[in-house]
Amino acid sequence: MTRNLFACHVIPTLSILLLVQIHPSTQLNNVTDYLALLAFKSHIRSDPNGMLSGNWSSNKSFCNWVGVSCTPSNNSIQRVTSLQLQGMSLQGTLAPQIANLSFLAVLDLSDNHFNGNLPSELSLLHHLKVFNVSRNNFQGPIPPSMSHCKELRELILSDNAFIGTIPQELGILRNLQILRLNDNNLTGSVPPSLGNITKLEFFYLHENKLEGSIPQEIGALYNLVLLSFRGNDFTGPIPASIFNISTLQVVDLSINRLSGHLPMENATGLNVPNLEQLYLDSNQLQGHIPVSVASASKLEYSYLSENGFQGNIPHELGNLLHLKWLQMQQNQLTGRIPSSIFNLSSLNLTGVLPSSISNASKITYLEISNNSFSGPVPPTLGHLTQLLHLNLQNNLLVNEPGKTELSFLTSLVNCKNLEYLILRSNPLNGNLPETIENLSNNLKVIDPASCGIKGSIPQGLGNLSSLLYLGLNDNDLSGIIPASIRGLQNLERLYLTRNRIEGPISFEICSLGKLGELYLGENMLFGSIPRLISNLTTLAMLSLAANRLSSTVPSSFWGLENLRGLNLSQNSLHGPLPPQVGHLKNVYAMDLSSNNLSSDIPEALGNLQSLLYLDLSKNLFTGPIPNSFGQFVIIEYIDLSSNALSGLIPKSLEALRDVQFMNFSFNELEGEIPSGRAFANLTHESFRGNQALCGSPRFQVPPCQVHSTKTRPSRSHVVKIVVPIICAILFSAICFFILVICRAKKVKSPATVDRSLPIGQWKMITIHELQLATVHFSEANLLGEGSFGMVYRGTLADGMDIAVKVLKLQQVGAHESFDAECQVMCNVRHRNLVKVITACCNLDFKALVLEFMPNGNLDQWLHSHDKCLGLIQRLDIMIDVALAMEYLHHDYSVPIVHCDLKPSNVLLDDDMTAHVSDFGIAKLLAGDKPEMLTSTLGTIGYIAPEYGLDGRVSTSADVYSYGILLLETFTRKKPTDDMFTGGSSLRQWVSDAFPDAVTTVVDNILLMETGTGHNRRNGTLEENENENPEAIEQLLVAIIHVGLSCARESPDQRSSMRDVVTKLKKIRLSLGA
């Protein structure tokens, strides 16, 4: 058979050999191996790093080629024994001629882009010991003939797209020690014959589509160290024989449909002395948790959650001294908590926390929130010296009897690694000890809100320099805010609402440059708002309400342009509201009620297009209601009552489509009350106390006098109509002229700034400067690569960081892509679109110089293991994207269709503000054409159905892509995930769970933040962790509903981006300002 293979595949390759000069040393080697390697190379379609094309040369012996190892040179003929080309980004298929390397012992092609089927000829490699093709794109079935490679020690086929069943013939491979078939699309059952591979140590089948029962024969693998069958569809009981494998260290059978009782329940033959990790969560197991689990004395991680376990928790689990994590939530457990169980949130457990809890000295997470534990917090918690995370919130825990200070906090000084300390909603009723300054320097979160904390804020708190979140709200704290708070330079959230804190707002707070949320409301603060508060440039939420502040609002205050929520109500602030209030472009809610603010309400207030809530009631404002209030696009609540406003109620307010409440009562307004739709739901209560108003009887005001005189349009009226039309025509002509110049610039000239693009004040940048900025477009500066270009990071001579998108001009459509991107990006302006700095082009080189986004793109944040986004961050990002798309679809002179909206095209700046990028295939729709046809398709998974079928694009196609993007953002599942096959899709998967089971599809990290879910990784603590689980679930339901309404099959049934912005902003506002 070997001879036939040589004849079929090698002899044709001789033509290649005749065209090259064979190196003298190669002539001494085996020509068969040489030709086999050449054939292997010929099947490589792409070698972006030049690993083979630049090294596999006939000028040297193939034994010296990269990745190739041979038998020792003292042999008369050297033979290839190892081919290791892992991680070289090679793309191609695996040549069948590889089988002619008959001495090959190691073949490692992992971490590349190979595809196609594995050739059956691999069975001829009788010396093969290691075969690793993991993390590629191989398809098709696993060849049963692989069983002929009887010397195999490692068979690693994971992270590919293999289909079909597991060949039963693999049971012949008696020398196999590692078998990795995980993360494929394998179906069927596990062959019992695999129980014959008695030398097997590592057995991975997780994340496939396998079903049936786990065969008893697996228990014969007496050398097994790791068994991972997670994420399949296995049913039936767990074979008892598995727990008789004494070498086992890790067992992961989670996320299946296994049922019955644990085989360990009777402790018959239990023999797993080396077991360290046991994952049985998310199954249908029943019965009691067996006492015999405690005999696994080395157990560190035990996940038993989301099953049907009943009865008490065995107190014998206290013997597991190495235990680091025990998860048992979402079962039917009852009774009191044993002293050694630690992660039992939301189980309605009662009783006293025993002091013997400290026996588990290696515990890192102690999570007992949302139960009914009572009694004092044990001071022995300080013996848990490796503790990272302590969450006792929502219980009935108290301080030690007779103690005024919370003594258990002093004991936590020994926990040098502690990062999270959450005590919220317990009746502790004590003082914070001064020893708090000696707590861990790693502390990121301290949250004893709603705990009855008394006394003053300790000076030593300022020593906790790593603190990000300090929640002291809803307590009984008194005294002043200590000056030492300036030491919290990393603090992002400070909550002191509803205490008895007095004195002025300290200047030290104004030095906390990273502060994003500051809540000081409902205290006894007095004096002025510090001018230096303008230093808090990252501030998004500010509440100083219900204090005794008495000053003007400093002019510098209105420079806080990142503010989203502002509440200064119930103080004694005075003076006028300046036009600079219009600088707060991002504010959603503004409450300035119950002060002594005076003078006219500035017209600039109408520029706040993001406003949903505005309350100016109970002040001393005079003059007319600004006509600009009619520009509020999404506002729902306006209260102008109890002022001294005069004049007419502007007719422009009739256009407010979403307004639910308006109050003009107790002013000096006159004239007719408008009757448009914004006023349709108002009652007479909104207009009381205005003596000169008239209008509809339902408002309980006198009717207005009717003047029926026929007049022809005034000269000024004609001017108001004609002049804008003329201006619009001139503007269109200028834009057309600019576009013609852009397209006409085809002559070759020194590459420099393309002045035809009207991007304001151009920055002159030559190609030489770009080469210096990017170190000659080095691979180290490569940020990413797309269909038409590569993006590099660069730094100009003046220190400015930039991103340079260099077009692949050899790529079909690249010129058109550049023109499209220029046509869009040089004309549109929006804070959520990536800014073009300049362009540089000639016939041989085209590049766009863009604003650099230091936080990468949304895809990296969603699908990287070292990054994590909280719920609020994700919602804010999706609002940013929606605002950008709303502008493109509705607010530009002609609708612009992006055509390729996906996570990698959503870039994030320093403040995690999102910017939409990559307009390479964008389309501008003519005003009279709501759709158009194109042959340039977007990205699979995000394309609307009508777009993929016949190339029909419209703004609705973008809305569909946005819906998929939103669903991916909150589920962290790509639409191209392997789980979506056979007609299923991300949208269908989410839709099937909506609304009752939405928590089963959203990212577990979001649930872990609220205490409603579990995850094996650390999450981030967002402000919504204050909400109860039901409220957060409803919030997620509302968000997912927006995504599903965008991703409907029919374009006519999808929401508009304007509606999406409105809905998401309402959801965001519900989280509070």
Identify the CATH homologous superfamily for domain 856-1012+1027-1072.
Transferase(Phosphotransferase) domain 1 (1.10.510.10)
Residue 749 has pLDDT above 80, yes or no: no
- Indicate whether 1023 pLDDT > 70: no
Least confident span in 31-35, 229-233, 346-350: 346-350
Is the pTM of the predicted complex or chain greater than 0.75?
no
pLDDT, tens digit, for every residue of 87-134? Answer: 999 999 999 999 999 999 999 999 999 999 999 999 999 999 999 999
Parallel/antiparallel/unpaired status of strands 923-924 and 896-897: antiparallel
Nearest to 911 by CA among 488, 513, 447: 513
Would you state the pLDDT for residue 320? 79
Beta carbons of 226 and 201 less than 8 angstroms apart: yes
User: What confidence tens digit (pLDDT) does each residue in 885-929 have?
Assistant: 998 888 777 788 888 899 999 999 988 999 998 765 444 544 444
Q: Does domain 550-699 have CATH number 3.80.10.10?
A: yes
Tokens of 110: 């992992």
Q: Where in the chain is the domain with CATH 3.30.200.20?
A: 764-852
CATH number, domain 764-852, options 3.30.420.240, 3.20.20.140, 3.30.200.20, 1.20.5.440:
3.30.200.20
Catalytic residues: 900
Q: How far is CA 691 from CA 598, 617, 679, in A?
A: 21, 18, 19
Q: How far apart are CA 131 and CA 1005, in angstroms?
A: 36
- Least confident interval from 53-62, 69-78, 549-558, 678-687: 69-78
* 138 phi, psi to nearest 5 deg: -65, 145
- CATH 1.10.510.10 positions along the chain are 856-1012+1027-1072
The pLDDT tens digits for 980-1019 are 876 788 999 999 888 888 888 998 778 765 433 333 223 3
Report residue 764's pLDDT band, with 50, 70 and 90 as the boundaries.
low
Burial class (CB in 10 A: 0-12, 13-18, 19+), 54: exposed
Could you tell me the end-to-end alpha-carbon distance of the chain, in angstroms, rounded to an integer? 77
The CATH code belonging to domain 34-163 is 3.80.10.10
Of 68, 69, 117, whose CA–CA distance to 92 is shortest?
117
Question: Residue 20: what pLDDT?
Answer: 38
Q: Is 190 exposed, middle or buried (0-12, 13-18, 19+ CB in 10 A)?
A: buried
Of the pLDDT bands very low, low, confident and very high (cuts 50, 70, 90), residue 188 is very high
The answer, yes or no, to whether residue 713 has pLDDT greater than 70, is no
- Token digits of residue 111: 């971490």
Residue 230 clears pLDDT 60, i.e. is over it: yes
Question: What residues have CB less than 8 Å from 521, skipping those under 6 apart?
Answer: 497, 498, 543, 544, 545, 546, 547, 567
pLDDT at 346 over 50: no
Mean of the pLDDT values across residues 928-938?
46
As a whole number of angstroms, the distance between CA 392 and CA 959 comes to 43
Greatest mean pLDDT among 401-405, 497-501, 1067-1071 lies in: 497-501
Q: Average model confidence (pLDDT) for the chain?
A: 83
Phi and psi of 277, rounded to 5°?
-135, 130
**Residue written as token pair 């129980």:** 195
Q: Which region among 135-144, 155-164, 588-597, 980-989 has the lowest average model confidence (pLDDT)?
A: 980-989
Task: For residue 75, count other CB atoms closer than 10 A to its CB.
Answer: 10
Which amino acid is residue 923, in one-letter code? K
The pLDDT score that the predictor gives to residue 116 is 95
Separation of alpha carbons 764 and 379, rounded Å: 67
Give me the mean pLDDT over the 344-365 stretch: 66
pLDDT value, residue 787: 63
Local structure of residue 891 (DSSP, 8 states): I
pLDDT tens readout for residues 580-637: 999 999 898 999 999 999 999 999 999 898 899 999 999 999 999 999 999 988 898 9
Radius of gyration of the chain (CA): 35
Query: Is 857 in a helix, a strand, or coil?
Result: strand
Higher-confidence residue of 790 and 948: namely 790
Q: Where in the chain is the domain with CATH 3.80.10.10?
A: 34-163, 550-699
SS3 content of the chain, % helix, strand, coil (to 5): 30, 20, 50
- What would the pLDDT profile of 846-872 be if each residue is shown by its tens digit? 888 888 999 999 999 998 877 788 888
| CA–CA dist 656, 629 (Å, integer) | 9
State the pLDDT at residue 297.
86
Residues annotated in a binding site: 805
Give the separation between CA 724 and CA 726, rounded to whole angstroms: 5
pLDDT digits 0-9 by tens, 798-853: 788 899 988 776 555 555 556 655 655 556 778 898 888 887 876 667 888 888 99
Q: Are 499 and 525 in contact (CB under 8 A)?
A: no
The closest of 446, 433, 494, 443 to 464, measured between CA atoms, is: 443
Q: What is the pLDDT of residue 13?
A: 40
Nearest to 67 by CA among 118, 130, 109: 109
Neighbouring-strand partners of residue 389:
365, 420
CA distances 660 to 637, 686, 879, 1070, Å, are 6, 12, 22, 15
